[in-house]
Chain A
Amino acid sequence: MIRALWQRRRIPLASLMLIRQPVRLAVALAGISFAGILMFMQLGFRDGLFDASVTVHRLFDADIVLISPRSTSSVSMAGFPSRRLIQAMAAPEVEGITPVHWNLLLWRNPETLGTRSILALGFEPGHPLFTDPTLAAKAKLLTQKGRVLFDEKSRAEFGPVAKWFREGRTVESEIAGKRVRVAGLIGLGASFGADGNLLTSSETFLDLIPNTPSGSIEVGLVRLKPGSDADQVAQHLQSQLPDDVTVLTKQGFIDFEQNYWRTSTSIGFIFTLGAAMGFVVGCVIVYQVLYSDVSDHLPEYATLMAMGYKLNSLLGVVVREGLLLALFGYLPAYAAGQGLYLLVRNATQLPVAMNTVRAVSVFSMILIMCMLSAGLAMRRLVDADPAEIF
């Protein structure tokens, strides 16, 4: 079968046309690669920023998360009765729960004394909060009132807390006007909504915000027994619990946050537009190249038609040129994308990395780009009238 096809092959007109016109080929490949790199960068930034918005969300040790239906994102979490979390315990699959207080508070920079909003999480020090096992030991430090664990990956604007703490100094500062002492460091990472994070005990948290209604929490973590279906349990809980609470799976909680940044801010739009521009620029370049290629060779195409070649097989030549351009334009774009992601990761700490979905989607875009351009350039080929070449 393959042998038969190999025997039936013809002169590879498409590749020869490209190879024998090296300048045109170089322009086309440069254009396609450029478009590909642009798409890789824009989509990479976009996904990287969305990923960064859920830095903390990913760390929670939970299968199901309860939030208030009035919460819209990590920067505006509303409270719900903690009773609901206890009610959730009734489900046989539930293994454990952790009520979490969640709010943005004003942290005073101990060096400059300026204040800045920081994400504070309050929990019972004995309860599991993050999947990171090292936290449990540090959490004990919070049992004393007025102690906090400071995120060493917080932005520098919060002051040289981590540096001072490592030097052995006693770091004290003010949160919401109340004195706190840094009891230890943890590594979480800044996200979109919060430039820094700190953990404290529920007791200290309520002390910092005294007007919190009693029994009100912002986030409820639910851990399930191994082998339970989180989706199913979440649905079941949602149907059992009153409407003043929303039950999400952990992934649903992550999606909820990302969805906010995607739909309620212009970030998604801006970067998607950037990628779209790359696509358009690529289209224009490939179309130009293919169109002028067809125009230049019009008498030759007409000659082939006069010799008895079908119009379809000549259109096939243009399509194959487009395919080859897509393939050989994509490879350098992919390589450059990898390199630039590394550069961006090192420079910005954003979690920007190549993933299969993006690699495939950019290739698809390039393929569509080349096929679209080839399709448009083909219309020129229809002008080739073999009767005109005599």
Chain B
Amino acid sequence: MGKSSLTVDIHALSHWYGKGSTRRQVLQGVDLQISAGEVVLLTGPSGCGKTTLLTLIGALRKVQEGDVDVFGQQLRGAARGQRQRLRRRIGMIFQGHNLLRCLTAEQNVQMGADLLPNLGYRARRDQAREWLRSVGLEDELGKLPHDLSGGQKQRVAIARALAAKPKLLLADEPTAALDSGTGREVVELLKRLAREQSCSVLMVTHDPRILDVADRLVRMEDGRLYQTIS
């Protein structure tokens, strides 16, 4: 596989928390490649370092040791500004929906679309509406997060993440707060939309019911990755 088609290329990544005697290693020589358009599910017991890996790929943390290549950009030693610009190309979906409480569904999604350069206000608003339509919320445009159900909120969050047209989507247990039926629906929607955009997905999950949406399963234990053949 040519290096250019890899969205994420991680080699010998190690990470520690704390300093001195309380220093604790959370990642131990992790290797991981994600190709363009691939949907990868990451499972493992809590506290094994899954979220740390996600934040490192998402350019939210400084890389301490090893190589992390996202869209061909080396993240080790990357400056704050470079990481912030890179984050614009990465969509993120969180455990909680993390929507802005004072914005309507439409405005929340537009916060994602507003990151796109060279687009007029109206064009960005139309895109926000379009995304809400794709997640089946065209009738809830003007509602505040407060008035939406859990599944609806998570769908708004997906629309917001995709509105910035990312080529990589990082999701941390997006179904944790949802019942199984809704969770399944949300994940399938996520996969379908990501595929349409040829967007790679790395999803952390504990939920065994959604494992079958993955192209590939990766398991993490005690800071080490184990590839699983699905």
A interface residues with partner B (beta carbon < 8 Å): 6-11, 13, 16-17, 19-21, 297, 299-300, 303-311, 386-387, 389-390
Contacts and interface: CB of A to CB of B under 8 A. Distances in A.
Given A299-B98, A300-B99, 16 more contacts: A11-B111, A19-B102, A20-B101, A304-B100, A306-B58, A306-B87, A306-B92, A307-B92, A307-B164, A308-B115, A310-B84, A386-B60, A387-B61, A389-B98, A390-B54, A390-B95
B55 interface: yes
Interface of B: 51, 54-55, 58, 60-61, 84-90, 92, 94-96, 98-103, 107, 110-112, 114-115, 120-122, 144, 160-161, 164, 172
A6 to B, nearest CB: 7
Contacts of B85: 308
A308 B88 contact: yes
B51 to A, nearest CB: 5
A10 B86 CA distance: 20
Nearest to A302: B98
A338 B144 CA distance: 40
B87 A308 contact: yes
Residue of A10, A16, A307, A389 with most partner-chain B CB within 10 A: A307
Contacts of B101: 20, 297, 300
Nearest to B161: A307
A6 B160 CA distance: 22
A303 B164 CA distance: 14
A115 B95 CA distance: 86
Nearest to A301: B100
- Closest A-B pairs by Cβ, 6 of them: A308-B88, A20-B102, A308-B87, A7-B120, A387-B60, A303-B98
Contacts of B61: 387
Contacts of A300: 98-101
A39 B54 CA distance: 53
Contacts of B160: 307
A311 to B, nearest CB: 8
Contacts of B114: 10-11
A214 to B, nearest CB: 83
B42 to A, nearest CB: 12
A16 B107 contact: yes
A9 B123 CA distance: 12
Nearest to B173: A390
25 contacts: A7-B121, A10-B114, A11-B111, A13-B103, A16-B103, A21-B102, A297-B100, A300-B101, A303-B94, A304-B111, A306-B58, A306-B60, A307-B88, A307-B92, A307-B160, A307-B161, A307-B164, A308-B85, A308-B87, A308-B164, A386-B60, A387-B55, A390-B51, A390-B54, A390-B172
Contacts of A10: 110-111, 114, 121
A303 B161 CA distance: 11
Contacts of A305: 84, 87
Nearest to A308: B88
Contacts of A306: 58, 60, 87, 92
Contacts of A297: 100-101
A305 to B, nearest CB: 8
Residue of B90, B95, B98 with most partner-chain A CB within 10 A: B98
B102 A17 contact: yes
Nearest to B62: A387
B141 to A, nearest CB: 14
Contacts of B58: 306
Contact of B84 (A17, A299, A303, A308): A308
Nearest to A9: B121
Contacts of A11: 103, 107, 110-111, 114
Contacts of B92: 303, 306-307
B98 A309 contact: no
Residue of B101, B110, B160 with most partner-chain A CB within 10 A: B101
A163 B142 CA distance: 72
Contacts of B87: 305-308, 386
Contacts of A389: 94, 98
B169 to A, nearest CB: 12
Contacts of B144: 20
Nearest to B122: A7
A1 to B, nearest CB: 15
Contacts of B110: 10-11
A141 B134 CA distance: 97
A20 B142 CA distance: 13
Contact of A307 (B51, B95, B111, B120): B111
A316 to B, nearest CB: 13
Contacts of A9: 121
